[in-house]
Amino acid sequence: MDRERNRNVGNRYLIIALIAICLFSCKENEKTAVEEIVAVVEKPEEIVEFGFNLNNYIVKRDTIKKGDSFGEILERNHIGYPQIFNIAEKAKDTFDIRRLQVGKPYTLLCSKDSLERPKCFIYQPSLEEYVVINFQDSIHAYKSRKPIKYIEKTATGVITNNISETLDEQGLSPRLAYKMADDIYAWTIDFRRLQKGDRFKVIYTDKYIDDTIYTGVHNIKAAYFEHNKEPFYAFEFTTDSTKGIIDYFSEEAKNLRRAFLKAPVKFSRVSSRYNLKRRIAVYGFKVRPHKGTDFAAPIGTPIMATANGTVTESRRRGGNGNYVKIRHNATYETQYLHMKKRKAKVGQFVKQGDVIGWVGMTGNTGGPHVCYRFWKNGKQVDPFKQKLPEAKPISDSLKIKYLDFIQPIKKQLDNIHFLEDVFEEQNQPEQVIKQSDNLISLNN
Ligand SMILES: [Zn+2]
């Protein structure tokens, strides 16, 4: 014990001495610099990242620049070409070094001596993933992920104007609003027509990488929305884990989603509707039926599959330009024309909302739009005139499982109280009236 303390103290003096030498050349802020560094020495903190104790290395961080290559980066850091070639050869089964992307971060762990020789190259293709090419002793490479942490949170809110404002006032992510409006309640509540006094409770998870990087709302586990005094419960439930189908159901196991989205593009306008009697000037006002619905949107706008299904056609042909056709079931098919680029392969299963291409002007078209064709029993019909089917109901066997699954979650949701209700219980009606506009609670 004592000996160890002595050694620590000894080390500290040595380091202070080194700092003092350094400061002769640095000159500025001598006192504070010494104090700060001493404080650090007294409490050596282990910094672990990518599974390495960074204290053992000189850490050099940078991003891949235009024209950079694995070889050049290592060469700049004093590694010769025979060894670079050797490293690339041995790493290639794990990672193809030619796939480095401009703008992605990389880290070099270098020896803590005057040579500063790289021992390890770490490349981060995304915030979560990283590739380690370790050439410290023997050469080996592997892929890994940074630790992810999900933190469950709850929030409640009362609408005074609109949902974004209510969330914003509490510093909550606008993604909560998008998720509720687009993913959960898109078919049951019109978020453009919320009423003053509508209120909600939500249980959601926030996602963090490495404990520190907040990457936003990960998912909404359950929600309760009171619209015009009517309650709408929603519970997230995986109905098909192999296809990754997650839906929201009511407390009675009714699917909240409709089988089809109203439009294949967001923020678009209908520029031409399905019209069997359309007459066009350039054709001498002859009847040229338009069996599709045109949604005008800027070039590059993502086009979404309006329902789950299997891609039956994906190609470029004549007036259609680049197009994709999807079969949803025995009755319905949809088709999307004039794409700039397709992102769907024949035989591929797509989910409602998946991007299958981007708006363009290929084929016969006067401006950027997607011509959306809706087929029912092999005939093109007007999707706006259809009574669209409800999304796939939950199977009987799954329903039992679902009702069991949501029981504790519903209890959790019901136990979250609106602040105004808490006030009412405390019998302070005057205060409640004054404050209820801004009453919002955040229960973490
Ligand atoms: Zn059209």
Residues in the chain: 444
pLDDT of residue 191: 81
In the predicted model, what is the mean pLDDT of residues 342-368? 94
Instruction: Please tell me the distance between residue 45's alpha carbon and the centre of ligand 1 in angstroms.
Output: 64
Cβ atoms of 345 and 314 within 8 Å: the answer is yes
Instruction: Please tell me the distance between residue 191's alpha carbon and the centre of ligand 1 in angstroms.
Output: 29
Instruction: Please tell me the distance between residue 345's alpha carbon and the centre of ligand 1 in angstroms.
Output: 22
In this prediction, residue 423 has a pLDDT band, given cuts at 50, 70 and 90, of low
DSSP symbol at 93: T
Provide the CA 114 distance to its chain's centre, in angstroms: 43
Q: Which residue has the higher pLDDT, 366 or 278?
A: 366
CB atoms within 10 A of CB 69: 14
- Residue range 190-243, pLDDT digits in tens: 787 888 999 999 999 999 998 888 888 999 999 999 999 999 999 999 988 887
In the predicted model, what is the mean pLDDT of residues 340-356? 95
Instruction: Please tell me the distance between residue 367's alpha carbon and the centre of ligand 1 in angstroms.
Output: 11
Instruction: Please tell me the distance between residue 274's alpha carbon and the centre of ligand 1 in angstroms.
Output: 8
Cβ atoms of 110 and 158 within 8 Å: the answer is no
CB atoms within 10 A of CB 101: 10
In this prediction, residue 418 has a pLDDT band, given cuts at 50, 70 and 90, of confident
- Residue range 148-194, pLDDT digits in tens: 999 999 999 999 888 888 888 888 888 898 889 878 987 788 787 88
End-to-end CA distance of the chain: 43
User: Is the confidence at residue 436, as pLDDT, over 90?
Assistant: no
CB atoms within 10 A of CB 377: 9
pLDDT of residue 270: 81
Strand partners, 247: 237
Provide the CA 87 distance to its chain's centre, in angstroms: 34
Q: How many Å apart are CA 141 and CA 96, to the nearest integer?
A: 11
- Residue range 87-122, pLDDT digits in tens: 999 998 888 888 899 999 999 999 999 889 999 999
CA-based torsion, 170, 171, 172, 178: positive or negative: positive
Instruction: Please tell me the distance between residue 52's alpha carbon and the centre of ligand 1 in angstroms.
Output: 57
Cβ atoms of 128 and 78 within 8 Å: the answer is no
- Candidates 444, 422, 439; CA nearest to 159 is 439
